[in-house]
Each structure stands twice: as C-alpha cells, then as structure tokens.
Structure 1
Amino acid sequence: MSHPIPQATLHDGMKVPVIGLGTYKLKGNEGVHAITGAIDHGYRLIDSAYNYENEGTVGEAVRRSTVQREELLITSKLPGRYQGYDNAVTAIQESLYRGGLDYYDLYLIHWPNPKQDQYVEAWQALIDAKKWGLIRSIGVCNFLPEHLDRLEKETGVLPSINQVELHPFFNQAAQRKWHEDHGVQTQSWSPLARAAELMKNESIHSIASAHHKTVTQVILRWHYQLGAISIPKSSSPVRQLENLSIFDFTLSEGEMSRIGELSHPGGRMNDQDPAFYEEF
C-alpha cells in the first residue's frame, strides 16, 4: 500500500480510517490469520459484533498483531435481545470479556428494533459505558432519522456514527444528507452489495477500465468520495491489499453520478427495512 489511509473525524473528536475490515464469518484460527494479515497490510479499523460470534477471534488477532493496541480501532455491536438498560450494560461487559479487551473504540447498537421500543434504554447504557471508560466512541447501525431524532431528544446525545446498508444499488442519499446535516458519520456495511451482479455492470466496468482499476476499487472509491467509511470483508491477502489501493485516483462528478444512478427503492439486499426489521 503506497498511499496512507485518510481519516474521518467524528463529532466527539475520534479519528477513524475511511476504510476498515469487515469480519462477518471470520472465525477461529483462519479468522485470526485473516485479521492479523489485514493489520499487517495496513488496516487499523476492525469491525465485529456480538452476533458475529467472533469477538474472541478479533481479540486474539489484536494480541498476535505486531501493531500496538492503541493504534487499532476495534468495533463491536449490541444485539437486539440485550437492549434493556441492565442487559445492555452486561452485554457490553461480556463483549469485552469475549475479546479479552479493556475497551472498545466503537460500540454500536446493531438495529433499532422499533417494535420492542428499548433502543433509547440501550443508548443510555452506551452513554454510561463511555463515561466508565469501556467505550471510546458510541454509535448505532441501521437507525432511521426518526430513531436518531428520538435519541437526541431523550438523551441529548447523537451517535458519532451510523452504520447503514449502502452500496450502488441503494445509495441512501436522503439518509446521508441527514447525517451530514447533523454531524453523524456515515459508515457503509456490505459496501460491495451483490458483488457478482456489480461485476457484470457495464457502466462500472467502463469506469474501472478508464482508471486501470478493478470494479471493486471503483466502488470503494465511490464510497470514499461520498464521505462514507466502508468496511469490506475479505480473507484474501490479495483482495485486502486491492481494497486499500483506492487513494491514487479520483472519480469525476459524472462517474460518481453514473454509479449513483444504479440505486433504486427496492435495492436493499434482503429487504431489511429498519422501520420494521428486527434483529435479536
């Protein structure tokens, strides 16, 4: 990697690399090797979750890495079944024990689960856990503006980051605008969406050819120029390096628009609308 990874500054002052490593399904010894390899390649932001059942794998990779813990930013997420205040506090502690870590750099509520109506309680638990030094920065995933408004109204604290489904088939323009207007950082999960389908897209292929880049690199560059932090998952050393090699070219406004125009209202991959979808 010849170009350093730029950083975004969250509203609480934390600086976060604009690209990180997703770890969903990276488990056990193979997962540890994939994550330590990514750290060796320059990744400093590592994304995990309680429900991925790999916080231990991530923690072991941190311990085996030659990079100091203070240079890494480790994320985990609170599952829906523990959104009551007391349960949330216990789950955060359990996340730390699983990972063998003293603190998480980022801890997020995984889904709002609006029918359960406990996400404000969960948010208060994260606020307190930050005060206790268990978490450096607190955020959410998949929260709609109405959910974010309620958090601020009832606790006075907005998330530093909102991790949402964001890819060329679902570009989240309105959600991203809300984030920008309110100082919340957008983070993209599944940034490459249906990779096989994207790889066949002629428009993106032509853009990639023009820049002598891969389709994946063009898509990740698109996320970066949108102002979003992406967390692509890969266990392949070649792909890990490829995913970081996006800072030596720039997409034109026209190219950005062409990619954005692939978005459509039904573009969510699994129809997981946060207004209704629940995750436990």
Structure 2
Amino acid sequence: MPRHDVNDLIAFLAVARERSFTRAAARLGVSQSALSHTVRGLEERLGVRLLTRTTRSVAPTAAGERLLQGVGPRLEEIDAELAALSELRDRPAGSIRITTGEHAAETVLWPALASFLPRYPDIKVELTVDDGFTDIVAERYDAGVRLGEQVAKDMIAVRIAPDFRMVVVGAPSYFKRHERPTRPQDLTQHACVNIRLRTYGSIYAWEFEKRGRAMKVRVDGQLTFNTGSLRMKAVLAGLGLGYFPEQRVRPFIARGQLVQVLDDWCAPFPGFHLYYPSRRLSSPAFSLLVDALRYRG
C-alpha cells in the first residue's frame, strides 16, 4: 500500500472517531482545510463517500463505519507493536489510560500508583473517573476497572481487590427520630439518599441478599446524587440512610458517626478487577502496572 494511503487512513480515522474535522485537525496537528482535502482525496480514490458532513456534525457513512471498524483496530495493533518496541529499554516507559469508578480510584488505584510511579518515572498514567460502562476499545483506553460481575466475558480480568460489600448506614441523629430497619422492605418507610448512576440509566435500586434470596429495593428521599462524597455528607448530616461500600464507611462507624443496619442482608460479591481486551499487546510498562495492582490476599 502506498504510504500516502496509510496517512490518509489515519486522517479519516481521526475524523470518524472525533466526529469533527476541527477536533481531529487539532489532534493531528494539521489545518482543518488540509485534513478535509486529505479525506476528500481518499474518498475519490476509493470511489465511495466515507463521511456525511453537515454544518453541525460529521458522521461515518455505512462504508465509513465499515472502514472504521475494519482498519482502525489493525492500525492500533501496529501502533501498539511499535510502542512496545520503543519501550524495550533499561527503564520501562509509556502512557497508560484507565477508566474506573470513583471508589476504586480512591481506595485501590491511587494507593497502588502512589508507590508504583516513583519507581518508574518514565511511565505515565491517566485515570478517568466515570461510573458508566465505558467501551474501552472504542474510547482507546488501555484498561478499565469494574467489579468482577460487571466485566465482559471476552476481556482478560485481573483481580485487584478483595470481595466487596455494600452496607446501609445512618447517623445517630437520624435514628433518634426513626426506628432502625430490620429488613430491606422497611427502607420504603425511611428517608434515603439516592444514587443516580449512568451505568443503570436511572436511580439505583439497593441490592440485598440473605441465604440465597436476592432482593432489590427502590428507596425514596429528598436527595439524589451521582457522587459518593455528597451522599456521605448528607447521611452524616442525618438527612437520610445511605448505601455505601463497607470500606468507605468503616472509619465513620468506628468513630460513632454512623450506625450500620441490615448487616445480615449485605452479602459480599466479587471485588474490583482490572480488565483489558484479550488481543491487547502488553507493553513492559503495562505489564508492570498490572503486576503491581494484582491482588494477592
């Protein structure tokens, strides 16, 4: 294949992924007019329209989508091979992009990175905190972190944390005004601080299990948040019951700031896993990070 065809394909892929000539041009370091000319030349040589252009948006045509899905991963594999070769030096180097949820970022990834990165000054890590199910292949992440039961079967998954448990807690001031719930159904009579996660597309239903019996309860209250820090503030202020990872509330329980309820209904489930595509070509830097994160408990 002529070299200019490869360069033109790279230009097309950038526009198709960014859905914008302006953003793609900035990413490639070329002018918007030059990029438009390059893509138009590729379309003329192939004899098909690859992009649908309007004044507000750019989107791949059916032919463009086929080219994006067929050629894009192959060029990424070539880039990964070249990057891996360039990293075969005395000191591992490279950039690693990871998408993760808030709790895993704070309790698992950050403690590991704080000790890992000083040992490898040429390795860079970018963490994106997102509670939605990001497509790590489409968004070009090297890996993602999710609970074990949420990882797709076609991914390689590495356990990086012990089993996980969600628990229900409330402030002592709240329980001065309300009786403690003794079963999950009682929560419908309580003020609860709700969670909205993009993962579920709606208000999250609190999940419980006891002796093999699973149950979901849709709770109600005056407050709904999509971040854990604000939910915690509301619960500590006595504005309602909260549903949190056990590890996060343990210090507050020890200090008497929170009281745990429904303990016998809060069963553990598989903890956090780092996952990545099975066809990913692991660089020395990525392999070192995976090993540093691996749970050995």
What's the TM-score, normalizing by structure 2?
0.26
Report the structure, 1 or 2, having the larger strand content. 2
* Structure with max Cα Rg: 2
